[in-house]
């Protein structure tokens, strides 16, 4: 059963947090993780990009000059792709980029990501997260004490308005909840901070 350091609000190690083998000690499956991340990023795409083909551009019905005798290359329309204001070759059109991934695969990939954070020593548990006031400097000072000044993902057991307001202007910091945790975010951020109350929820939901 893996163990990670548990910190208090002063940045001091106050003990060890035991983690479930079923969630935090899973061997890495790179093809699975890659497939899930590709699908997640694809699902974020709006798919609204659009351009006009030569058949859709206005104008160009008249042949610009006669076929022979001018010394210039033959042209049939001023809306061909090589012309300014011409149509686009293989113009992009609105489409759906979404990819369906079974829930079991998504959860298996998340378990792999969480386990990799434990193996790399990039996961820590925070005993509690309560701010006296919703001030950015207070949250920034806490992250500095924890050694999480770079890109960090903080997982909360539930919504906390004070923490959300204090974290909004900190570059490289993202808040997440147990039900919004995903593989891409876990691997994207350098440090993963689990508030103590979120650990049993993660073990219950993703086991």
Q: Report the percentage of the chain scoring pLDDT > 70.
A: 100
Average pLDDT over residues 27-49: 95
Q: Is 171 helix (H, G, I), strand (E, B) or coil?
A: coil
Ordered by where they begin, the domains of the chain are 3-45+99-206 (3.40.1370.10), 46-96 (no CATH)
The per-residue pLDDT for 164 is 87
Q: Is pLDDT of 146 > 90?
A: no
Pair of tokens at residue 189: 């951020």
Average pLDDT over residues 7-22: 87
β-sheet with 13-18: strand ranges across: 13-18, 3-7, 123-126, 191-195, 152-156, 173-177
What is the chain's mean pLDDT, rounded? Answer: 91
The model's pTM: 0.83
105-135 per-position pLDDT tens digit: 999 999 999 999 999 989 999 888 888 888 8
The per-residue pLDDT for 28 is 93
Cross-strand pairs, 17: 4
Residue of 167, 163, 155, 170 lying closest to 203 (CA atoms) = 155
The per-residue pLDDT for 130 is 82
Q: Is pLDDT of 5 > 90?
A: no
165-189 per-position pLDDT tens digit: 888 888 999 999 998 999 999 999 9
Q: Report the percentage of the chain scoring pLDDT > 90.
A: 59
The per-residue pLDDT for 138 is 87
Sequence-ordered list of residues with C-beta below 8 angstroms from that of 80, at least 6 positions apart, any chain: 54, 60, 86, 87
Q: Is pLDDT of 35 > 90?
A: yes
The per-residue pLDDT for 129 is 85
- Tokens 């308005």 locate to 161
Give, in degrees to the nearest 5, the angle at Cα 64 between 59 and 67.
Answer: 135
Residue of 15, 24, 8, 11 lying closest to 186 (CA atoms) = 24
């Amino acid at each position: 059963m893996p163990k990670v350091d548990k910190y208090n609000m002063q940045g001091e190690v106050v003990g060890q947090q035991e983690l479930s083998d079923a969630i935090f000690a899973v061997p890495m499956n790179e093809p699975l993780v890659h497939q899930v991340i590709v699908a997640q990023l694809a699902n974020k795409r709006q798919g609204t990009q659009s351009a006009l083909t030569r058949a859709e551009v206005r104008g160009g019905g008249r042949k610009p000059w006669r076929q022979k005798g001018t010394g210039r290359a033959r042209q049939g329309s001023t809306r061909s792709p090589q012309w300014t204001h011409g149509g686009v070759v293989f113009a992009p059109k609105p489409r759906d980029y979404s990819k369906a991934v079974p829930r079991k695969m998504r959860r298996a990939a998340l378990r792999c990501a969480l386990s990799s954070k434990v193996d790399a020593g990039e996961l820590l548990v925070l005993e509690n997260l309560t701010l006296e006031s919703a001030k950015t400097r207070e949250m920034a000072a806490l992250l500095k004490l924890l050694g999480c000044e770079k890109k960090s993902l903080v997982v909360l057991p539930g919504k906390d308005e004070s923490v959300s307001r204090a974290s909004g202007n900190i570059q490289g910091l993202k808040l997440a909840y147990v039900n919004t945790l995903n593989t891409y975010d876990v691997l994207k951020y350098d440090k993963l901070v689990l508030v103590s109350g979120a650990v049993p929820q993660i073990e219950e939901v993703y086991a």
